[in-house]
């Protein structure tokens, strides 16, 4: 197997002495969805989480980490983050704000720490996958370690399927 170059995310986890595994997958530029990632990994889509960055009307930017097939519920997200309303940030703001590109946005190691909310289903699993900070690489990690690392809050933030 080819050596996987460590991402900033991996270095931060190493520094924090958090156990994780880097898992590469095949990138499809036309399909950056978490569903594609789950298929590539051969994993349950419910365990492949995507990282979304939102902007609230009162408290500014915050992050939602939700199961790959879900949509974020803006009303629920606004409520848990102490906002009246919120919206997804425009794609062009993602890189300057977080340091990450679409399809490679990780809740770990953004340029600045933002309040981070995890969908409550994360607690059902012994491990989940999130982006390792670049396209083509996921991090397999225990939810409790991830939540602790980013000082996250578990909440109901996605729309019911």
Q: What is the CATH number of the domain that holds 78?
A: 3.90.960.10
Residue 1 has pLDDT above 60, yes or no: no
> Strand pairing of 86-88 and 128-134?
unpaired
Residue 161 lies in a domain: no
What is the domain extent for residue 52? 18-155
The answer to whether residues 51 and 72 touch, using CB atoms and an 8 Å cutoff, is no
pLDDT for res 2: 55
Burial class (CB in 10 A: 0-12, 13-18, 19+), 37: buried
**Alpha-carbon distance 120 to 100, whole Å?**
24
Residue 92 lies in a domain: yes
Residue 54 lies in a domain: yes
The answer to whether residues 127 and 13 touch, using CB atoms and an 8 Å cutoff, is no
Q: Could you tell me the pLDDT band of residue 4, with boundaries at 50, 70 and 90? A: confident
Q: What is the dihedral of CA 112, 52, 46, 127, to 10 degrees?
A: -10
Residue 130 has pLDDT above 60, yes or no: yes
Residue 108 lies in a domain: yes
Mean pLDDT on 121-137: 97
Q: Phi/psi of residue 155, each to 5°?
A: -155, 170
Residue 115 lies in a domain: yes
Residue 6 lies in a domain: no
Q: Could you tell me the pLDDT band of residue 3, with boundaries at 50, 70 and 90? A: low
Residue 2 lies in a domain: no
Element (H, E) at 102: none
> Strand pairing of 153-155 and 116-119?
parallel
The count of domains in the chain is: 1
**Alpha-carbon distance 56 to 78, whole Å?**
7
Residue 8 lies in a domain: no
């Amino acid at each position: 197997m080819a050596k996987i170059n460590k991402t900033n995310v991996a270095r931060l986890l190493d520094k924090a002495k958090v156990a994780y595994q880097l898992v590469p997958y095949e990138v499809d530029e036309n399909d950056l969805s978490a569903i594609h990632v789950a298929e590539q990994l051969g994993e349950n889509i419910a365990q492949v989480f995507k990282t979304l960055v939102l902007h609230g009307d009162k408290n500014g930017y915050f992050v939602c980490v939700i199961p790959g097939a879900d949509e974020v519920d803006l009303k629920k997200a606004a409520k848990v983050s102490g906002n009246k309303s919120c919206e997804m940030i425009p794609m062009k703001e993602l890189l300057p704000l977080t340091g990450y590109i679409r399809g490679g946005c990780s809740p770990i190691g953004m340029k600045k720490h933002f309040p981070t909310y995890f969908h409550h289903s994360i607690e059902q699993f012994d491990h989940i996958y999130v982006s390792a900070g670049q396209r083509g690489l996921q991090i397999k990690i225990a939810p409790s370690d991830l939540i602790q690392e980013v000082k996250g809050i578990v909440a109901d933030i996605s729309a019911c399927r």
